[in-house]
Structure 1
Amino acid sequence: MNNIKLENANSPVIKDKNSAISTKASLKANRKFKKAGLFTLFVGPAFLAFAVIVLIPFFTGIYYAFTDWNGVTGNVAWVGLDNFKYLFTEDKQFQRSFLLTIKYTLVAIILTNVVGFGLALLVSQKLKTKNILRTVFFMPNLIGGLLLGFIWQFIFIKGFESIGSITGLSLFELPWLGDEKTAFWGIVIVSVWQGAGYIMLIYLAALQNVPQDIVEAAKIDGANKWQVLRHITMPMVAPAVTISLFLTISSSFKIFDVNLSLTNGGPFKSTEMLALNIYTEAFVNNRYGLGEAKALIFFLVVAAITIIQVTITKKREVES
Structure 2
Amino acid sequence: MSNHSKLEKVNSAAFQNQPNVNASRSVPFMKSKKVKKAGLFALFVGPAFLAFAMIVLIPFFTGVYYAFTDWNGVTGNVSWVGLDNFKYLFTEDKQFQQSFMLTIKYTAVAIILTNIVGFGLALLISQMLKTRNILRTVFFLPNLIGGLLLGFIWQFIFIKGFESIGKLTGISLFQLPWLGDEQTAFWGIVIVSVWQGAGYIMLIYLAALQNVPQDIVEAAKIDGASRFQVLRHITMPMVAPAVTICLFLTISSSFKIFDVNLSLTNGGPFKSTEMLALNIYTEAFVNNRYGIGEAKALIFFLVVAAITVIQVSITKKKEVES
Provide the residue aligned with 1:292 in structure 2. Answer: 294
Q: Deviations over 1:110-159 (max 9, x none)?
A: 00000000000000000000000000000000000001001100111111
**Candidates 102, 105, 108, aligned match of 1:103:** 105
CA distance in 2, matches of 1:14, 1:119: 79
**Candidates 104, 125, 128, aligned match of 1:126:** 128
CA distance in 2, matches of 1:37, 1:69: 42
Pairs within 5 Å for 1:299-314: 299-314=301-316
Alpha-carbon shift at residue 28 of structure 1 (Å): 1.1
Calculate the TM-score normalised by the size of structure 2.
Answer: 0.95
CA distance in 1, matches of 2:102, 2:124: 32
CA distance in 2, matches of 1:132, 1:24: 62
**Candidates 167, 170, 177, aligned match of 1:168:** 170
CA distance in 2, matches of 1:9, 1:49: 60
Alpha-carbon shift at residue 18 of structure 1 (Å): 2.1
Alpha-carbon shift at residue 88 of structure 1 (Å): 0.2
Alpha-carbon shift at residue 8 of structure 1 (Å): 6.1
Structure 1 residue matching 2:20: 3-state secondary structure: helix
CA distance in 1, matches of 2:46, 2:9: 52
CA distance in 2, matches of 1:79, 1:19: 66
Structure 2 residue matching 1:78: 3-state secondary structure: coil
CA distance in 2, matches of 1:223, 1:128: 27
CA distance in 1, matches of 2:50, 2:8: 60
Alpha-carbon shift at residue 180 of structure 1 (Å): 0.4
Alpha-carbon shift at residue 9 of structure 1 (Å): 7.1
CA distance in 1, matches of 2:11, 2:170: 112
Provide the residue aligned with 2:244 in structure 1. Answer: 242
Pairs within 5 Å for 1:236-275: 236-275=238-277
**Candidates 184, 187, 190, aligned match of 1:185:** 187
**Candidates 272, 280, 283, aligned match of 1:281:** 283
Pairs within 5 Å for 1:63-102: 63-102=65-104
Provide the residue aligned with 2:53 in structure 1. Answer: 51
- The alignment covers a number of residue pairs equal to 316
CA distance in 1, matches of 2:10, 2:101: 85
CA distance in 1, matches of 2:186, 2:157: 16
CA distance in 1, matches of 2:97, 2:10: 85
Provide the residue aligned with 1:218 in structure 2. Answer: 220
Q: Please identify runs of 4+ aligned residues in structure 1 that moved more than 2 A.
A: 3-11
CA distance in 2, matches of 1:6, 1:143: 87
Alpha-carbon shift at residue 5 of structure 1 (Å): 9.5
The answer on 1:205 being equivalent to 2:207 is: yes
Identity rate, percent: 84
Match of 1:46, as an amino acid? A
Unaligned runs of at least 5 residues, structure 2: 1-6
Match of 2:37, as an amino acid? K
CA distance in 1, matches of 2:10, 2:310: 69
Match of 1:78, as an amino acid? W
Alpha-carbon shift at residue 283 of structure 1 (Å): 0.3
Q: Deviations over 1:192-221 (max 9, x none)?
A: 000000000000000000000100000000
CA distance in 1, matches of 2:138, 2:28: 60
The answer on 1:61 being equivalent to 2:97 is: no
Alpha-carbon shift at residue 97 of structure 1 (Å): 0.0
Match of 2:228, as an amino acid? W
Match of 2:29, as an amino acid? L
The 1:191/1:6 distance shift into structure 2, 3 A limit, reads farther
Provide the residue aligned with 1:112 in structure 2. Answer: 114
The 1:14/1:209 distance shift into structure 2, 3 A limit, reads farther
Structure 2 residue matching 1:301: 3-state secondary structure: helix
Match of 1:142, as an amino acid? L
Higher Rg of the two aligned structures: 2
Over the residues paired in the alignment, what is the CA RMSD in angstroms?
1.6
The 1:9/1:135 distance shift into structure 2, 3 A limit, reads farther
CA distance in 1, matches of 2:13, 2:261: 82
Alpha-carbon shift at residue 245 of structure 1 (Å): 0.2
CA distance in 2, matches of 1:26, 1:5: 33
The answer on 1:40 being equivalent to 2:31 is: no
